[in-house]
Amino acid sequence: MKKIMPWIDVLPNVESTDFQARRDEIEAMAMQAQQSSNGMVHLLGEAYFKACKLEGDAKAHWSLKEVEQAQRVTG
């Protein structure tokens, strides 16, 4: 599985926040859902919701321009 939300890593001073840990938790949830025999749709949905919340929180913490630039760089 490809690393999700790699743009988190290029945000300024991200190391002083919990954003990388939150992203890693989301990634682990998504991997667990994919490896499940029944797909664990509920778990995948929860991971998606948390990813959306994380992106929204990032846009509140950094400027929209900074987040969009980070997303473009890691494309």
The rounded distance, in Å, linking the Cα atoms of 63 and 58 is 8
Residue 7 lies in a domain: no
- Exposed, middle or buried: residue 70 (CB in 10 Å: 0-12, 13-18, 19+)? buried
How many domains does one find in the chain? 1
pLDDT bin (cut points 50, 70, 90) of residue 35 is confident
Q: State mean pLDDT over 47-60.
A: 97
Rounded Cα distance, 25 and 37, in Å: 20
Q: What is the pTM of this model?
A: 0.88
Give residue 36's pLDDT band: very low, low, confident or very high (50, 70, 90). Answer: confident
Kindly state whether residue 11 falls inside one of the protein's structural domains. Answer: no
Report residue 1 as tokens.
């599985």
Mean model confidence pLDDT for the chain: 92
Whether residue 45 is predicted with pLDDT greater than 70 in this model: the reply is: yes
Determine the pLDDT at residue 13: 97
Residue 12, in any domain of the structure: no
Residue 21 lies in a domain: yes
> Nearest CA to 10 among 54, 72, 61, 60?
72
